[in-house]
Amino acid sequence: MSFFEKLMKIDRRIIFLLIFVGVAIPLIVALNFELEITQPVRKVHGLVEDADDGAYILLSFDYGPSTKPEIQPMAIAILKHAFERDYKVVCSALWPMGVLMCSEAIESVKEEYPNIEYGVDYVNLGYKAGGLVTINHMGKNMRETFPTDAANNPISEISIMDNIKNLTNFDFIVGFSSGSPGLKEWVQVAHDAYGVPVAGGSTAVQVPSLSPYLNRENQLVGLLGGLKGAAEYEKLIASPGTAVKGMDAQSIAHLLIIIFITIGNIGYFVTGKYKQKRL
Amino acid sequence: MKRQFPLVITFFVGMLVIVSQFIPHQPFGHLSDTLESWFLIISGFAILLGQLNLLKVNIIKIHRKSRNWQYYIVCVVSFVVMITIGILWGTQDQPGLLGQGSALVSFFGRKPFDYIFKYFFENLSATMFSLLAFFMASASYRAFRARNLESSLLLISAVLVMLGRTTIGTWLTGWIPENLTYLHLPQIADFIMKYLQKTGQRAIMICAGLGIVGSSLRIILGIERSYLGGK
Amino acid sequence: MALTMERLGVWIGVALTFAIYSFLYKDNPVYKIAEQIFVGISAGYWFIYTIFNILKPNLYTPLTSDFGNNTLLVLPAILGIFMLCRLVPKINWVSRYAISVVVGTTAGLALIRTLQSDVITQMSETIMNPFSGPNTAVILGKWILIIGTTTGIIYFFFSKKHTGAFGATAKVGVVFLMISFGAAFGYTVMARISLLIGRLQYLLGEWLGIIQP
């Protein structure tokens, strides 16, 4: 068996080990490659930065622990930005795990902003099922959709909600999404039906399918895509966190995958496997 | 009654929602509002149905001693434990039947429900999904082949995006002079994402959208009845 | 004690992480047990949060605190119970009433919203003046968007055989679709690797303390 034939038959556990080591080493030994900011991320930053003083914003936590490494850093970055600008932050979730993701994100931000007060500066409304239909209902009547917050306090007793009757009372909405229901539904209802600007952060998997919404009509004002999007936003607000720290590992892992693809294809052509397919 | 009446309900409810999108005034607006608030509650019951069905299926497998039945006991026990502690001591934000469980909170540092979520579920969920990274690396090595024009285009596009959308792309082509920035990997990836890949995604979105419109019409008009199940 | 339990929790997390990762070596009972724990806890979590976040505030509390003004809520409660009857084979047909409300509402709203957002808006975004733009790249990009979207849609028209000029146009569409799928693969790689990075940040940071978490 030639060298390439042996290489083609390599045990896949060796590939697993190479990927594991290839991701672990850059996490320990920082390479500090430069990070470039893309236009969709700048647009999200611009939307948050340029809103009016005392703006009311809705953050929808539509993800769970499975995609937390990608999305939590962007949620934390946007929360920091919002509290820095003294906005009123209303949080909700279309996924049940989103409630605790929101709590964890706010807990980590509270260290930097200890003066933020629950019910005055921010509120966690909790989880509601229903996706598209629920968002449509929020567009007409927030209080009927959320009669209480996540801790079962009546909405009428929460001062931050005094001026909020429906979605149109928000200056903009930011959705953090890892599937359905998520950003797509927010765009379809909140922006296209009620005219509220929508921006978002999503897992990298969703970015291509959401990219048609980045258009002249601004169905989606901007999009933070995956760990890179989170890292770019952390850089823009000058608060590097887990996303920036993970980018070196991301880069090396991508290079490794490309090397695997290259070796695989070289082996495919050298061993003549492509000829066998044609026969 | 068993099949015809549900079809009538579907038609009435579907048409009401469609009409209320164009005529939001009374009575359609009010009826649609009421319907949506009912939808929320019924969806909640649908979720409960899913979880109870999982319990039922696992109990049947244990009872029949199907293949690997011992593992399903673990599933049932985990489910019952989670529900029990949730009902008795509540969640982070809400009390349970036995109150806030202050003694347990000082022991665990948080409520038992949240403790299990944080240290069991979060780790299990994140690790399960991170397994995909390994299988994807293996698949890239073994299966990703430039066999023809289409697969070669796919490969080239994937490589350019993978390099351009990470910091290594910036490092590899950072030396390129200003007048040749269109050869800078991040710029190439940007162009691919902004124009080339958007064409395919937009075409898929439009065609899938037309498909959804067709399916929704079929459901509302009672032509598509598979959601009713049974005979 | 809380600090000890927190530290114990980290070790539990690590043990469960390696239990799942053991599957990479070979399928084994430890992995199977961890998998079933995951399924059971997930189902329990959904159950409790549905009760506390949906059924309690939107149904139970209004009915018990102000029944007079919320009498109509009895109807969705009945429909919800009908939904649960799906578990009982003899009476599972009553669940069709509840399912028809859910399916009808979703179908009606999805029809309108999808038509506006995913069809009409996307088509209008493709119709643009491809002769003007701030630079060559933008003008080239506009041509690509128009040609690529149109040929891509033509490819998905299967009611006519892909032969002759129609077939050639569809083949051009395939080229753009393949580039799209390649970019999607690139982003999928990014997503999966990010999840592995998250796990390693937990193992190296919170567990071993080698890196700053």
pLDDT tens readout for residues B79-89: 999 999 999 99
Domain identity same for C209 and C171: yes
Domain identity same for C208 and C161: yes
Distance from the Cα of A196 to chain B's closest Cα (Å) equals 17
| pLDDT at residue number A76 | 97
| pLDDT at residue number A279 | 45
Quote the ipTM score. 0.91
Domain identity same for C105 and C172: no
| pLDDT at residue number A48 | 96
Percent of chain A exceeding pLDDT 90 equals 84
Domain identity same for C39 and C95: no
Supply C99's token pair.
Answer: 């399912």
The answer on pLDDT for B231 being more than 90 is no
Q: What is the CATH number of domain A39-240?
A: 3.40.50.10160
Average pLDDT in the A13-25 region?
93
Q: Which of A257-261, B90-94, B204-208, C165-169 has the lowest mean pLDDT?
A: B90-94
The answer on pLDDT for A119 being more than 70 is yes
Pairwise CA distance, residues B74 & A157, whole Å? 43
Supply A146's token pair.
Answer: 């959320």
Query: Which residues from A are below 8 Å from C211, CB to CB?
Result: 27-28, 245
Pairwise CA distance, residues C56 & A145, whole Å? 13
- 3 state DSSP class of A186: helix
- Of the residues B127, B131, B215, the best mutation for testing chain C's interface (the one with the most C CB atoms within 10 Å of its CB) is B127
Domain identity same for C35 and C11: yes
| pLDDT at residue number C34 | 96
The residue ranges of every structural domain in chain A are 3-30+248-273, 39-240
Domain identity same for C137 and C213: yes
Average pLDDT in the A114-121 region?
93
DSSP string, chain B: --SHHHHHHHHHHHHHHHHHHH--STTHHHHHHHHHHHHHHHHHHHHHHHHHHHHHHHHHHHHTT-TTHHHHHHHHHHHHHHHHHHHHH--SSS-BTTBT-HHHHHHHSS-HHHHHIIIIIHHHHHHHHHHHHHHHHHHHHHT----SHHHHHHHHHHHHHHHHTSHHHHHHHTTS-GGGGGGSHHHHHHHIIIIIHHHHHHHHHHHHHHHHHHHHHHHHTTS--GGG---
Q: Which residues contact C187 (CB under 8 A, 6 or more apart)?
A: A204, A205, A207, A208, A225, A226, B161, B165
Pairwise CA distance, residues B188 & A220, whole Å? 22
The answer on pLDDT for A278 being more than 60 is no
**Which amino acid is it at A227?**
L
Question: What CA dihedral angle connects B37, B38, B44 and B45, to 10 degrees?
Answer: 170
Q: Please check whether residue B131 touches A, CB under 8 A.
A: no
| pLDDT at residue number A276 | 59
The answer on pLDDT for A180 being more than 80 is yes
CB-count burial class (<10 Å; 0-12, 13-18, 19+) for A1: exposed
Q: How does residue A140 score in pLDDT terms, banded at 50, 70 and 90? A: very high
Domain identity same for C118 and C146: no
* Low-confidence stretches of chain C (pLDDT beneath 50): none
Q: Please indicate whether, in this complex, the C-beta atoms of A69 and B126 are within 8 angstroms of each other.
A: yes
In-domain check, residue C37 = yes
Q: Which residues contact B97 (CB under 8 A, 6 or more apart)?
A: B87, B88
In-domain check, residue C23 = yes
**Partner B, chain C 37-56, Cβ-Cβ below 8 Å:** 37-52, 54-55
Query: Which residues from A are below 8 Å from C193, CB to CB?
Result: 23, 249-250, 253-254, 257
Domain identity same for C86 and C153: no
Range of the domain at C96: 79-127
Q: How far is the CA of A164 from the CAs of A83, A168, B24, B35, B38, in angstroms?
A: 19, 8, 20, 22, 22
The answer to whether residues A129 and B43 touch, using CB atoms and an 8 Å cutoff, is yes
Number of domains in chain C: 3
The answer on pLDDT for A184 being more than 70 is yes
| pLDDT at residue number A273 | 62
Of C47, C102, C108, the CB nearest to B18: C108
Query: Which residues from A are below 8 Å from C200, CB to CB?
Result: 20, 23-24, 27, 249
Q: Hey, how many other C-beta atoms are within 10 angstroms of the C-beta on C156? A: 16
Average pLDDT in the A87-99 region?
96
Q: Please indicate whether, in this complex, the C-beta atoms of B158 and C182 are within 8 angstroms of each other.
A: yes
Q: How does residue B39 score in pLDDT terms, banded at 50, 70 and 90? A: very high
Q: Please check whether residue C100 touches B, CB under 8 A.
A: yes
Percent of chain A exceeding pLDDT 70 equals 97
